[in-house]
Amino acid sequence: MSWVRAVVTEIWGLFVDDGWFALSILVWLGVGWGLPRFDLPPALACAVFAGGLVVLLAVSVVGRAGQRG
């Protein structure tokens, strides 16, 4: 069964490097999925969705750069 674990690990590794970063993306996708249900102007809803993803990326890289090692 070790090869099954190896395959699962490889597939997991394609999508998840930093667990918190991946989790925060998924949470934001949940927010993005719900955005059209709010009464926001369409352009604002798109900007909020894309902006949130960009902020998550920026926070993640700057946070990692601040760590030692």
Partner 1 sequence: MSGLWVHAGPTALAAFLACLVEAVEALTVILAVGTMRGWRDALLGSGAAVVVLGGLVAALGPALMTVPLGVLQIAVGALLLLFGLRWLRKAILRAAGVLKLHDEAAVFHAEQRRLAQVARATAWDTVAFATCFQITMLEGAEVVFIVLGVGAGNAMLLRSASLGALASLVLVVIAGAAVHRPLSRIPENALKFVVGVLLSAFGTFWFGEGAGLAWPGADWSLGGLIAVYLAVALIGVRACVSRRAHVGVMA
Q: Which residues bind partner 1 (CB under 8 A)?
A: 10, 14-18, 21-22, 25-26, 29, 32-33, 35-36, 42-43, 45-46, 49-50, 53-54, 56-58, 60-62, 64-68
How many other CB atoms sit within 10 Å of the CB of residue 5?
A: 9
The distance of closest approach from Cβ of residue 5 to partner 1 in the complex, given in angstroms and rounded to an integer, is 14
Return the closest-CA partner of residue 61 out of 17, 13, 27: 17
Token pair, residue 40, equals 């926001």
The distance of closest approach from Cβ of residue 23 to partner 1 in the complex, given in angstroms and rounded to an integer, is 10
Please give the Cα distance from 11 to 58 (Å, whole number): 25
The distance of closest approach from Cβ of residue 66 to partner 1 in the complex, given in angstroms and rounded to an integer, is 5
